[in-house]
Each structure stands twice: as structure tokens, then as C-alpha cells.
A and B are shown apart, each in its own frame.
Chain A
Amino acid sequence: GDSVTQMEGPVTLSEEAFLTINCTYTATGYPSLFWYVQYPGEGLQLLLKATKADDKGSNKGFEATYRKETTSFHLEKGSVQVSDSAVYFCALSKWGSQGNLIFGKGTKLSVKP
């Protein structure tokens, strides 16, 4: 069945370090791909999304490119801040407009000053 695999955490970085969180997916058809973020004590928030191959989603300095050939959607940021500490979830939309999301297990990021 359809699934999302993301790198295990926790990930600990120093402020201003480069961030990559890997995400790969298995799906039939052409899913849409998402990154959601959960800050401590808050609900899930959409960080960015991409709806077709080669699309790049970006927001708040984070970027991810939909790579159909490698079935990947890796999250990157050039310089992380302490305020980026959160749990990041990669997800796919299984049937396009019906939108039922399939999530990965999440990757906890801690950024130290």
C-alpha cells in the first residue's frame, strides 16, 4: 500500500547549520506531497507542499522538491534557528482531491544556540 518513510530522529543541530530531513514515498498514481510541522504544544501546521513532479515547495526558508524518479521529497533549510525546533512530518495525499493524508513517523529536530 501507499506509505511514507522519513529519516529517524532525533536530529540535533547547532544554530545556522544546514538541515536535511529525508523523505521517500511509495504510492500508485501521482500523489501530492506535503511537509507538516508540529511545534511544542501546538497543532500540526502545513509547512509546504508540491502537487506534481519537479515542483518545489518553499516556506520560511524551508524547501523541498518533488522528485518522481527517486520518489523523494527531502526537506532542506540552509541555516536553522532555535525556533525551528519541532517535529516534522512528511505526508502524501493518497487520492488527490479527496485528500486523505498518509504521514511518515515524524522527525524531531532540536536546534541548539
Chain B
Amino acid sequence: DTGVSQNPRHKITKRGQNVTFRCDPISEHNRLYWYRQTLGQGPEFLTYFQNEAQLEKSRLLSDRFSAERPKGSFSTLEIQRTEQGDSAMYLCASSRLAEVTDTQYFGPGTRLTVL
């Protein structure tokens, strides 16, 4: 396994701009999760996919946020009209649907700063 990768690692943008992040999960992992982590807090769940289907979205995921996972491989998270409150670390994790409690493997994250 090469691990979960995320790009870019850092993103600085101005308020009101749109940004898109990419996550490449571990090969053959069915599930892909997005979390957001702010300073001094633990990660908070945003959404998850099983293959290409988005099965759950947190109430934290406002209508400015959209996530896709075409073909069930990589995923993108887009934030439209960014706000300063969107500044956070965005984490992606993947897991294999092979056991009752599947282990999630996390990527290094994308740190977003909204000026």
C-alpha cells in the first residue's frame, strides 16, 4: 500500500474564492471519508463514500461544500465562496469493507487558509 495521498498539502486563498482538494485513497479501498480538523480540536466527520456513492453527509457540510468520487477511485472536495471560518485542515481517510470494524487510514491532510 502506498498510503492515502492528498493534494495540495497547503492552500491559501482569499475569501470568496473557490477551492478544490483531491484525495487518492489506498488502492482497492471501498470507503473514503472526509474530515475537518480545526486547531486544538479532533477531526470532525464531513462525509463518506462507499465506492462512488455518497452515503452520508454531516450537518457541517453546508451547501457551499460538495464532494465527489467519480468511478469510485479518487475524490474531490470543493468549497465555493470560501469564508474565513473554512480555514482548517481537511483530512481524507480510506478503508476496506472487509470486516465489521474497518480501520481508517488517514492522509496527511490539506491545510486551508482563507484570508
Write the residues of chain A forming the contact surface with B, with a CB cutoff of 8 angstroms.
Answer: 4, 32, 36, 42-46, 49, 51, 89, 91, 93, 96-106
Contacts and interface: CB of A to CB of B under 8 A. Distances in A.
Contacts of A104: 42
A14 B35 CA distance: 33
Interface residues of B, number: 27
Contacts, number: 62
Given A42-B108, A51-B101, A89-B42, 15 more contacts: A4-B42, A36-B106, A44-B106, A46-B105, A49-B101, A49-B103, A89-B43, A96-B100, A97-B97, A99-B48, A99-B101, A101-B45, A103-B44, A105-B42, A106-B42
A43 B107 contact: yes
B42 A43 contact: no
A43 B101 contact: no
Contacts of B85: none
Contact of A93 (B43, B97, B101): B101
10 contacts: A43-B106, A46-B103, A51-B101, A89-B43, A97-B97, A97-B100, A99-B104, A100-B48, A101-B43, A103-B44
A84 B58 CA distance: 33
A96 B40 CA distance: 27
Interface string B72-115: 00000000000000000001010101001111111111000000
Contacts of A91: 42
Nearest to B107: A43
Interface of B: 4, 31, 33, 35, 40-45, 48, 55-56, 91, 93, 95, 97, 100-109
Contacts of A49: 101, 103
A72 to B, nearest CB: 17
Nearest to A32: B101
A101 B101 contact: no
B10 to A, nearest CB: 13
Contact of B45 (A44, A96, A102): A102
B108 A99 contact: no
Contacts of A102: 45
Contacts of B31: 99
A96 B101 contact: yes
